[in-house]
Structure 1
Amino acid sequence: MNKLTLPAFVMAVWSVHANATPFDTCPSKAYLFQSAPVKVYGVNLVTGATTLLEDDTGTTANVNGVGFNFTDRYIYGYDTTNKKIVRMGKNFQVADVNTSDLPTDHTFYVGDVYDHTYYLYRTNKGLFKIDLSPLDSDASAVLPVVKISSRATVSLTDMAFHPGNGKLYGIDNNSGFLYEFDPTSGQETYIADTGQKGTFGAGYFDVNGYYYVSRNNDVSSGGVVIREGGKIYRVNMSLDESGDFVESDFTAVEFADGPMSNQNDGARCANAPVIDEDSNIDFGDAPDSYKTTLASNGPRHQLDELTWLGLNGVDGDSDGAVSPDSDDLTGIDDEDGIGFVTAVEPGLDTLVTAYASTTGYLSGWIDWDGDGEFDEPGDKVFEDQLLQAGQNVLFFEADLNAVAGDTWSRFRFSQQTGLDADGGSTSGEVEDHGLTITAANTRQEHFPSSTGFVTLAYEDNYPYTADYDMNDVVMFLRVTETLKDDVVAKIKVTGQLAALGASYHNGFAIRLPNVARTAVNTQLTYLKVNGQLQSDSGMETDMQEASFVISNDLNEAADFSCQYFRTLENCREDISYEFELTISFNPDADVSGLPDMPYDPFIFATPDKYHGEGMPEHPGRSWEVHLADQAPTEKFDKVNIMGLGVDDSNDATGKYFKTSNNLPWALMLPEQWEWPKERVDLLKAYPDFEGYATEGDGTNALWYKSDNAVSAETY
């Protein structure tokens, strides 16, 4: 076997790489080069999906300033480690390209290829070009590097050729300004402010003249991220028949989520469309005023073979099928994931079903005012709602001012969160559905206001006063009634557990006195705790009146680490338990006996838990505490509990849950109140309260104000 000398051996290896097979076609995907040793990724600009194509390119160096040569279908780049020109074929193996007069006093990070010529740019150094045509006949040809211009004032980290006019474009990292560069003279021309700043390490064009740029890393100010890295933006630089820009607005629009990196550079065949013929992307179907097509930056999802809505799977689209066209007219019927079960009426609740192939996140929008856009804050009805595999039951409240008539909705299901109504996603499906908003004469009333809370405070030593600190359960509460034709059609009760200074275990419930349980529309009645939909509404099915248990045991439901939650100085934890109870009534229900808000909120003893001496053992639901003079529920054990201790309740006079001198076991205050500390008697913390309670004539009516408190005794 003949031996090769070392130089001959090196040349032999180089020749294999230099003659590597070029790309078969002008590919639609963008190529992203990162890291040292350089790794090559394929980026779907439409969705932001990224695939590692090659992590071993045959070099330990970083390659930057890359560009795709449509003529010979190679990618050319600059080896920043060894300061030389290289190229890659479809196997992504790096091969050297021989050059002369390549500057050695600096590196290049910016470049692109156009018309069989490789261009390099370095701020404050100049614009250079290399004619690649000699390589067509001799892969070992030495290519001269020609300096076009010394003028290079724009701070660039990538640039790209427009396939329509042959000009170079780049965005200044410091200002976010878009510049045009004449490749024959290096002349730099300001075009517009894109509105985005940061290091745009990768830039690409598509065949329609759209310019895509990817920001490397986060942009921060004062330690706060003000612009996220990895975002792919699109600038509309399409041309008309005369070669002028179609748009005068060159704002960089967020287009998709891409990868973050300290070292980003991109190459793409600009003559290719951004969507493959065999699309694996799902688009929407609404009219294009809702931003449906790719040109409008419409919603689109990379098909991941895991995440979709409905039973029938999902097929790929070449673009949005704008209504009256539909994705269902071709391929499979895949718009079957979202179902509207009940009518959509202003201010009232609607039940929808969402069938998910797997766990993921759903966001949804409805155009309430019929303006052909999803841009109003209230249009978003779901935000990153976690779905489980299979059928999911969801509720949303229709906007009180929704305009009756036909409109559109959009639902996006993905493994990603934070999606808008437009833009790309790396997984999932989008479904657009037309719907009709039914006219309804609705209005709302709030207690105490649309944003405020009353304070409910309970003493759980009933029928004894014991420490009488009135902090065993403290709940902030708000109620909103939606009236249809001046009749209450829906109630929403919102609460926050503000304090829990109890050693006994207590539950919390809300009763609607004089309203039959059968008046409730169980299909549209539901309970959420800390934003999570519960398995049932908590309605007590063994009562005649409508009554709802929010929690059987607040001690177990709330998340806190110290005893006597928010009643001691060493237990100043944040509120961690919130609920939202929505009650809807049947259309023909009799709710004429419904009392004023907030109806009847009460506490009860947790079943199977000890609740004090002198009481029936483990009284459970038979022990209750209500606001003063509110009759107990039908479950209350009047025989064995009422009248015990210092309780002076009397059915005949309508006096309930008060002592003989009118001290109550529950209070409702018209604001967020400062309650007594643990084991501090209410009369000590608020000295004026005793006169207010015993006199009963309005004396000391403002006893609960902080100015009338002994501040050292309140939390």
Structure 2
Amino acid sequence: MSKKITIAGLALLSPLASATSFDTCPSKAYLFQSKPVQVYSVNLVTGSTALVTNDVGLDNGGINAIGFDNGVGDGTGFEHKYIYGFEKTSLSVVRLGKDFQAETIDVTGLPNIHFFVGDVYDRYYYLYSQSHGFYKIDLSPLDSDPSATLTAETISNSGSLGLTDFAFHPHNDELFAVNNSNGKLYTISTVDGSTTYIGNTGVTGTFGAGYFDVDGYFYISRNSDGNIYRIDLSTQAKIDSGNVGAVKFADGPKSNQNDGARCEDAPVIDEDSTIDFGDAPDSYMTLLASNGPRHEVDSGYYLGSVAPDSEGDGFQSPLDDNKAGLADEDGVGFVTGLKAGQNAQIAVQASTSGYLSAWIDWNGDGDFADSGEKIISDSNVSGGSNNFNVSVPADATIGKTWTRFRFSDQQGLNYYGGATTGEVEDHSVMIMENGSSMRHYPSASGYATLAFEDNWPKQGDYDMNDVVIRFRITETLDQEDNVTRIMITGYLAAYGAGYHNGFALRLKGLNREDIAEISTMSYNGVEQESNGLEAESTEAIFIVNSDLKQQIPAECMYYRTAQHCQEELSFEFDIDVVLKDGVDTSGLAAMPYDPFMFATPGNYVRDGLWYNPGRGLEVHLADHAPTEQFDTYWYGWWSDSSDVAQGRYFKTSDNLPWALIVPDDWKWPREHVDIVEAYPEFAGFAETGGSSNADWYLLEKATENKYYSVEE
């Protein structure tokens, strides 16, 4: 702790040996409040605060005009990173290191006043007073001599703006400030103190703390209510446009005395993030850059039975929170379907009592901003299951849409913005016509796993991981139980093949002419020009992708099959199949229909094949006949024992298939590990045609270290 000398009732700090520098450039902002000083760390993303210290070595002093000095390297890895401020009792410049103990810095050339406004940039400490002027102090002499006396240079003798903090932009060296009385944003010249008007932020008040992050977003904290606002100054074009409206970003702490500092070179979220984000498409304001919804985790407030894990940002297709981490999106259940003009029941499980708000995009326009789309507003729910009746508008757009649920101990949350507690869950749902119903495969929220061995008609290494697809199907039925719409959602889970392969799905029992032109296909949430319906076939066959090998990252040869290949998911697809009015679907095969793999035309096909059959080489589930595009020449070659007369297809003489489906999130074998080695009971299952060992695929049946697992 610093020594204090009392002279004429003033508490003065004597210079001591240099304080200990910060080790890194922290992502947290630091807020100085009260007298004596209390220092808080502030997570700008959620607004959560933590008391760092209530004793900085001052008896009753307060500190304002604080700024973070990013320091400079000295060749040894040590950098001079400190917080500088102005102590209001002794009217002295002080600095604090990572122990947050204040030490005085001798400075000459400053007027004998209290400065409220300051920041540090490029080794200069800048101080501002509207009535007494603008000053800068070179901090670099302290690098070699912690006891050096510094000299303040006068930039101007007066200031034109009524402000209580300013901050330097990390990219363009400009100093930005918001005028408290009118909310106008200015830059201030560090050469002569002149100001340039940029635009109106639309908010007013005493903004006692201002911060930048490394991406160029400007954050201002209002004393009266603690609201943290964000202004997008991330590009010069946005600055020049003058469109600088401040958006509420989070709820921070309120105080009648605020001053803030932050290392502007740090990202606003660090690698130790403990924040839960949403995962709807970003048109719904999901990502942090869009001010998406986010909650501080580990607070005891969450939805469902599994507490949320943390992410560095919102997930975008093909990722979502359940795929990327724990399956924690388990708090919301749609007890009944969402039918236009009818009431629907939703069950929400909460970990404890708190407040729930929710939104549904009724018109499918990609946002939650329309009137009536907030379906639950600050409902005080109890721990356990809570039921809600929701009225679906009669004019709701039929088809897939998105919902958002936010739970916290805070009230007033919007579908965007930060919260200090709780969880956000985004769910895609189907809105149906009145009188319709739905059925799912394998379930409303689960995925089935398709796995292919692509060496057909050879058995190959039989690791059954050359193409691994996870997918689900939702059928919409009318009152006569005719299927009117089919939604197929899936993603490429692994690709261990050296060959190029495509993936398709045949709706056996339907023809191409039964499919309405408004049917669509999307990749990673983006609708494609083609809906994938194969023009060359009479049957209704949707080519999901002709070359999956082009959809995987190039970093690792065995995409998510070798244990060291831990790439993120990269390819998701959605097929929205709309059937023409009056189509008879009584002959439609049961879900999962007929998914199959085929060889990519124009590429090297297989070892031992003396010509390229391309699309004519298909691999289907056992005993599923191929499509009209199949080249029957290859029946019975090498390991294949297909027999058309007996309805036997795509099996070896030992009944081993080249494709299999598991109605669960199955863990496939690692690269070059025979499936029988990874799952010993599979052999008996295959040999008996499925009558034995029906649960062979369960994880407890697997051989340890023989299956691929995602490393969190």
Give the TM-score of the pair, scaled to structure 2. Answer: 0.57
Q: Give the conservation status (yes or no) of the 8 Å contact 1:238–1:247.
A: no
Q: Deviations over 1:96-151 (max 9, x none)?
A: 111111211x3210000000110001113211000000111111110001111124
Q: Deviations over 1:124-179 (max 9, x none)?
A: 32110000001111111100011111241011100000000111000001110000
Q: 1:184 aligns with which of 180, 191, 200?
A: 191
Q: Give the conservation status (yes or no) of the 8 Å contact 2:6–2:12.
A: no
- CA drift of 1:305 comes to 3.4
The question of 1:361 aligning with 2:355 is answered yes
**Mapping for residues 138-287 of structure 1, pairs under 5 Å:** 138-217=145-224, 229-239=225-235, 245=239, 248-287=242-281
* Counterpart amino acid of residue 335 in structure 1: E
Name the counterpart of 1:70: 70
Name the counterpart of 1:61: 61
* Counterpart amino acid of residue 32 in structure 2: F
Name the counterpart of 1:33: 32
Distance in 1 (CA, whole Å) between partners of 2:408 and 2:103 is 40
Name the counterpart of 1:594: none
Name the counterpart of 1:339: 333
Name the counterpart of 2:97: 89
Name the counterpart of 2:368: 374
Q: Secondary structure at the match of 1:136?
A: helix
Distance in 1 (CA, whole Å) between partners of 2:227 and 2:105 is 33
**Mapping for residues 618-697 of structure 1, pairs under 5 Å:** none
Distance in 2 (CA, whole Å) between partners of 1:85 and 1:404 is 65
**Cα 1:12/1:202, change in 2 over 3 Å:** closer
Distance in 2 (CA, whole Å) between partners of 1:82 and 1:151 is 22
**Mapping for residues 201-600 of structure 1, pairs under 5 Å:** 201-217=208-224, 229-239=225-235, 245=239, 248-440=242-434
* Counterpart amino acid of residue 198 in structure 1: G
**Cα 1:282/1:82, change in 2 over 3 Å:** same
Q: Give the conservation status (yes or no) of the 8 Å contact 1:239–1:245.
A: yes
Q: Secondary structure at the match of 1:66?
A: strand
Distance in 2 (CA, whole Å) between partners of 1:120 and 1:39 is 21
Identity %: 51
Q: What count of residue pairs does the alignment treat as equivalent?
A: 423
Q: Secondary structure at the match of 2:339?
A: coil
Q: Secondary structure at the match of 2:283?
A: helix
Q: Secondary structure at the match of 1:31?
A: strand
Q: Give the conservation status (yes or no) of the 8 Å contact 2:342–2:434.
A: no
Q: Secondary structure at the match of 2:83?
A: strand
- CA drift of 1:376 comes to 1.5
Distance in 2 (CA, whole Å) between partners of 1:67 and 1:414 is 33
**Mapping for residues 599-610 of structure 1, pairs under 5 Å:** none
Distance in 1 (CA, whole Å) between partners of 2:12 and 2:280 is 59
- CA drift of 1:6 comes to 11
**Cα 1:441/1:350, change in 2 over 3 Å:** closer
* Counterpart amino acid of residue 61 in structure 2: A
* Counterpart amino acid of residue 165 in structure 2: D
Q: Secondary structure at the match of 1:265?
A: strand
Distance in 2 (CA, whole Å) between partners of 1:95 and 1:113 is 17
Q: Secondary structure at the match of 1:52?
A: strand
Distance in 2 (CA, whole Å) between partners of 1:414 and 1:405 is 30
Gaps of 5+ in 1: 218-228, 443-483, 486-715
Name the counterpart of 1:609: none
* Counterpart amino acid of residue 165 in structure 1: N
Q: Deviations over 1:373-424 (max 9, x none)?
A: 1011300111111222222222211123211111000000101011000000
The question of 1:48 aligning with 2:47 is answered yes
**Cα 1:12/1:194, change in 2 over 3 Å:** closer
- CA drift of 1:13 comes to 8.3
Q: Deviations over 1:661-696 (max 9, x none)?
A: xxxxxxxxxxxxxxxxxxxxxxxxxxxxxxxxxxxx
Name the counterpart of 1:694: none
* Counterpart amino acid of residue 26 in structure 2: P
Distance in 2 (CA, whole Å) between partners of 1:259 and 1:275 is 19
- CA drift of 1:94 comes to 1.1
Distance in 1 (CA, whole Å) between partners of 2:329 and 2:376 is 18
- CA drift of 1:238 comes to 0.6
Distance in 1 (CA, whole Å) between partners of 2:45 and 2:244 is 19
Gaps of 5+ in 2: 72-79, 437-477, 480-712
- CA drift of 1:14 comes to 4.0
Name the counterpart of 1:704: none
Q: Give the conservation status (yes or no) of the 8 Å contact 2:13–2:103.
A: no
Q: Give the conservation status (yes or no) of the 8 Å contact 2:11–2:89.
A: no
Q: Give the conservation status (yes or no) of the 8 Å contact 1:234–1:255.
A: yes
Name the counterpart of 2:122: 115
380-389 vs 195-204, which moves further: 380-389
Q: Deviations over 1:236-290 (max 9, x none)?
A: 00125xx874864100011110111111100000000000102100100000000
Q: Secondary structure at the match of 1:377?
A: coil
Distance in 2 (CA, whole Å) between partners of 1:415 and 1:140 is 49
Name the counterpart of 2:678: none
Distance in 2 (CA, whole Å) between partners of 1:11 and 1:38 is 14
Q: Deviations over 1:205-258 (max 9, x none)?
A: 0000000001111xxxxxxxxxxx211100000125xx8748641000111101
Q: Give the conservation status (yes or no) of the 8 Å contact 1:21–1:90.
A: yes
Q: Secondary structure at the match of 1:320?
A: coil
Give the TM-score of the pair, scaled to structure 1. Answer: 0.57
Name the counterpart of 1:22: 21
Distance in 1 (CA, whole Å) between partners of 2:288 and 2:212 is 15
Distance in 2 (CA, whole Å) between partners of 1:6 and 1:195 is 46
Distance in 2 (CA, whole Å) between partners of 1:328 and 1:111 is 45
* Counterpart amino acid of residue 44 in structure 2: L
Q: Give the conservation status (yes or no) of the 8 Å contact 1:151–1:187.
A: no
Q: Secondary structure at the match of 1:378?
A: coil
- CA drift of 1:200 comes to 0.5
* Counterpart amino acid of residue 239 in structure 1: T
Distance in 1 (CA, whole Å) between partners of 2:339 and 2:249 is 34
Distance in 1 (CA, whole Å) between partners of 2:109 and 2:158 is 18
**Cα 1:276/1:6, change in 2 over 3 Å:** closer
Distance in 2 (CA, whole Å) between partners of 1:338 and 1:180 is 47
Larger radius of gyration: 1
Distance in 2 (CA, whole Å) between partners of 1:27 and 1:314 is 25
Distance in 1 (CA, whole Å) between partners of 2:435 and 2:161 is 61
**Cα 1:189/1:346, change in 2 over 3 Å:** same
Distance in 1 (CA, whole Å) between partners of 2:206 and 2:11 is 38
- CA drift of 1:12 comes to 13
* Counterpart amino acid of residue 88 in structure 1: L
Name the counterpart of 1:124: 131
Q: Give the conservation status (yes or no) of the 8 Å contact 1:237–1:247.
A: no
Distance in 2 (CA, whole Å) between partners of 1:392 and 1:247 is 47
* Counterpart amino acid of residue 117 in structure 2: V
Q: Secondary structure at the match of 1:128?
A: strand
